[in-house]
Structure 1
Amino acid sequence: MLVKFILFSLILAVIESRQCTVKESCVPVRTCGPILEAIQVASQNRDQGLRQRTIEYVRQNICGRIDQQRVCCPSDNPSPAPVPEQEVYLGNFVTIIHDVTGEVYAKGTNKIVIKNLTYDGQGPDAFFVGGTATNSPSDSGVNVVLPYPFKGRHFGYKDTSVPVLPPFNGETIELTLPPGVDVNQLRWVSLWCRKFGISFGHIILA
């Protein structure tokens, strides 16, 4: 095997190792992608010159003690993609009026996702709200405002600049909780009309 031949050559022929740069890490030769790729190419080629150059390339990158078979490998590879936050199904909206329906999910600890959302858009002052202290929607129980679309700003319940919801016809939307409020603290979420103090549709979580 060429790999064994290369490693054997390293042990016999390398006189001293080198220091890795700040953009490199000293890792086992078998875990370094670029070097493994070079070895793979050489192992599939009968060109003795290529094989010799590959051996020399590996020798030039040896670090640490020779018997450890470690090499300087680039450490500025792209970081792995973040794992998407898992969505946990919470239930469906109970329809009250204005054709409100939707499937509700928790996403992480600070987001609510509503899928297949429907709403006729006829409420004059309607937006999403939640409560952490009462067991069902009420004007006095609203202490969490969930603005949509969320543009980085959170609102108090009496803030007249809370964006009013447009109609929806099966869309998926994401609501962001304000700092200090966890999804697990919510007892209910409602598509609520502040002007009339009523819920157009809601889900009870407690």
Structure 2
Amino acid sequence: MDGELECGLTFLDPPIHKLGVMLLPLVILQLTLSSYILSVVKGEVPSDWEYYGKFRFVQHLVQGELYGKDSRSLFIHRFYYDGEGPPGVTFTAIPKDETDYAQGIPLAIVELDNQEQVPKTLNNNYTLALPRNLRVSDVDRLVVWCSEYGVSFGRVDLREARNTSPKRPKTDLTLVGSFTNVEHRVAGTVYIQDREHLVIRDFNYDGQGPSVVLYAGEEENLKTGRFLEYPYAGYKSRLGPKRLTRVQKRDITIRLPKDMDAFKLRWLSVWCDTFEVSFGHVEFE
């Protein structure tokens, strides 16, 4: 019997098609959304700001990119922190020749009325003001510092960046669109970064669905689709990629298989292979 799902995917009987370890009906993508032209979204960071790198050695899902805005302030692009650490977490500047993070200098967050404590943050931009006696050139590291336990939740090494000139992230992205026909609080806006990478900004999924993966294809017929491995890139198993767990409004970057081209994709789905249903999908041009 033919059946149509609310997510806009149409099932046709027969046959049953085996794709890897997943059994799928022969499925075609029903193009129900209005078509649109892919557009380029310009980056939010001026090209003349010095780039220092991304936070490394992280805890509590910290992520973000650090730039020098001018000689007296730093800028963090799309900072993320789950807020599960104890009170008193700060952005702490470690001056030259200082090795004890506890002796670092907490910086004021301009967008939060110059408060120093870092709250739960889901992809916000922050400007950090340095005190009068400190310049960006005097800072060796920026640390997300938990003073209560004396641990770092992530750091950027400015001194290392000055010596190595890290590659600046590609900030001009090609807009595809947002997830539609969603279940399990799936949300996010999809962009093409280049032929090998997709970016999903503010990706959200409640983690309550069974056996959920990211799934994409270059043809309308879903049996030609491929699993996309996030966040377990390179994970190999006879059972396929690890399944998605809860993600709360987080920016994620997906590396496509070598034989796929982001500009040739037709669709991307948050796909439940247990019930063969999409929890949200985006159609490309």
TM-score with structure 1 setting the length: 0.54
Instruction: Tell me how far 1:115 sits from its aligned partner.
Output: 1.0
Residues 75-123 of structure 1, C-alpha deviations (whole Å, 9 max, x = no match): xx96754342232221111132111110111111111111111111112
Q: AA paired with 1:191?
A: V
Task: Check conservation: 2:232, 2:242, Cα contact below 8 A.
Answer: no
Distance in 2 (alpha carbons) for counterparts of 1:186 and 1:95: 19
RMSD of equivalent CA atoms: 2.2
Structure 1 unaligned residues grouped into runs of 5+: 1-76
Q: What corresponds to 2:199 in structure 1?
A: 113
Q: Does 1:165 align with 2:247?
A: no
Residues 19-66 of structure 1, C-alpha deviations (whole Å, 9 max, x = no match): xxxxxxxxxxxxxxxxxxxxxxxxxxxxxxxxxxxxxxxxxxxxxxxx
1:94 aligns to what SS in structure 2? coil
Distance in 1 (alpha carbons) for counterparts of 2:175 and 2:269: 16
Distance in 2 (alpha carbons) for counterparts of 1:169 and 1:83: 26
Residues 160-188 of structure 1, C-alpha deviations (whole Å, 9 max, x = no match): 24111011111111111001211011100
Instruction: Tell me how far 1:193 sits from its aligned partner.
Output: 0.7
Q: What corresponds to 2:180 in structure 1?
A: 94
Instruction: Tell me how far 1:153 sits from its aligned partner.
Output: 4.0
2:190 aligns to what SS in structure 1? strand
Instruction: Tell me how far 1:141 sits from its aligned partner.
Output: 3.9
The structure that has the greater radius of gyration is 1
Pairs within 5 Å for 1:52-201? 81-85=166-170, 86-134=172-220, 138=222, 140-142=223-225, 144-153=226-235, 159-201=238-280
Distance in 2 (alpha carbons) for counterparts of 1:123 and 1:109: 30
Distance in 2 (alpha carbons) for counterparts of 1:194 and 1:117: 20
Q: AA paired with 1:167?
A: R
Q: Percent identity?
A: 31
Distance 1:169 1:80, change over 3 A: closer
1:105 aligns to what SS in structure 2? strand
Distance in 2 (alpha carbons) for counterparts of 1:99 and 1:81: 36
Which is richer in strand?
2
2:263 aligns to what SS in structure 1? helix
Which structure 1 residue ranges, 4+ long, deviate > 6 Å from structure 2? none
Task: Check conservation: 2:235, 2:241, Cα contact below 8 A.
Answer: no
Task: Check conservation: 1:154, 1:178, Cα contact below 8 A.
Answer: no
Q: What corresponds to 1:69 in structure 2?
A: none
2:260 aligns to what SS in structure 1? coil
Which is richer in helix?
1
Structure 2 unaligned residues grouped into runs of 5+: 1-161
1:114 aligns to what SS in structure 2? strand
Distance in 2 (alpha carbons) for counterparts of 1:78 and 1:174: 27
TM-score with structure 2 setting the length: 0.40
Distance in 2 (alpha carbons) for counterparts of 1:166 and 1:98: 12
Q: AA paired with 2:280?
A: G
Instruction: Tell me how far 1:204 sits from its aligned partner.
Output: 0.3
